[in-house]
Amino acid sequence: MVNTHIRTENLNLWFSENHVLQDVNIPIYDKKITALIGPSGCGKSTLLRCFNRMNDLIPEAKIKGKVFLNEQNIYESRIDVTQVRTKVGMVFQRPNPFPKSIYNNIAYGLKIRGEKKSVINETVEKSLKDSWLWDEVKDRLNESALSLSGGQQQRLCVARALANNPDIILLDEPTSALDPQSTAKIEELCTELKNKVTILIVTHNIAQAGRISDYTAFMYLGDMVEFGETKKMFTVPKDKRTEAYLSGVFG
C-alpha cells in the first residue's frame, strides 16, 4: 500500500518565454525513493525545485498549475513558504555547507526557529548519526565544516536537512561532484533514510536510479514522458524515447 505524498497537477513553468515544464503530472509516493532522470536541460532539476518553491528565487520564473503536499497546494497565496521549506528539505548538487562549524551547520535550521539549546544538542547528534557522520566528526563538532572532505560535506548537508525533521528530502544530483566511494555511501544512506522520509532524487546517472529508486520518472524536453516502478521501466519501457535514453542512444 503506497500513499501519495506529493503530486503535481498540470504543472507548467516558464523562464521568461522559455516553456521549461509542460503539463507535468507526477505522484511522489510516501517513504519511497523516486528518481527523476532525463538528458541535460530536460527540466528535472527545475521540477525538483518546484517542490520546495526554490524557483521563487528566480524573478523571471512563472508557474501555473498545482503542487499538492499532503493534499495542500503549496502555491496558494496563504501558504508560508518557510514552512514548506522546513517540511521539504533539500540537498544540492555541490556540497554547500556554511562557512561555520560542523555543529552550527546542523543547528542552523533549529536556531532560526528559536529552539532550546537542549533540543538543538540532541537533534545535532541524532541528525549526524542518521547521516552516518557522527563517528567521523563527534570529536570536532566545533571545527569548520569546510575542513571536511567532499563526501563528508555532502552527508553534512543531508544531516542539516534532516535536523529540520522534514517529511521529504529533495536531492539534486547529490553525487555528481563526489568520488565513487562517497557516492556509494550517499546511495546506501538514501536507501536507509527511506524508512523515515520520502526521497526524490534527480540524477544524471541511470545506473544510480536503477540501484536505489523504487519509482522512476523520465523527462524529456519539459515533458513527463514516463513514470512507473523502476524495475518495470528499466526492463520494459513503454515509450520509445525512454527506451532510447535507458539504452544510451542519447543522454
Partner 1 sequence: MTKRELKQFLGVNALRFFIAVTAIFLILFLYVIISKGGKMISWSFLTESPKKYMTEGGIFPAIVGTFWLTIISIGISLPLGVFTAIYMVSYGKPAWFVRSVRIAINTLAGVPSIIYGLFGLTVFVQLMKLDVSILAGSLTLAILALPVMINASEEALRSVPQDFREASLALGATERQTILRVLLPTALPNILTGTIISIGRVAGETAPILFTAATFYTRRLPTSVMDEVMVLPYHIYALMTEGAHADKQVPIAYGTAVVLLALVLLVSTIAIIIRYNIRKKRKW
The contact set with partner 1 (CB under 8 A) reads 52, 54, 57, 82-83, 85-86, 89-90, 92, 94, 96-100, 108-109, 111-113, 144, 146, 157, 160-161, 164
- Give dist(CA 143, CA 155) in Å, integer: 16
Minimum Å gap between C-beta 97 and partner 1 is 8
22 versus 165: smaller Cβ distance to partner 1: 165
Nearest residue (CB) to partner 1, 114 versus 180: 114
Q: How far is the CB of 51 from partner 1 (least distance, A)?
A: 11
CB of 109 vs partner 1, minimal distance in Å: 4
Nearer to partner 1, 10 or 16 (CB): 16
The b/e string for 60-91 (b: 16+ C-beta within 10 A; e otherwise) is ebebebebbbeeeebbeeeeeeeebbbbbbbb
| Buried/exposed 103-138: b ≥16 CB within 10 Å, e otherwise | bbbbbbbbeeeeeeeeebeebbebbbebbbbbeebe
Minimum separation from the CB atom of position 1 to partner 1 (A): 30
d(CA 74, CA 51): 8
Q: By C-beta, is 44 or 160 nearer to partner 1?
A: 160
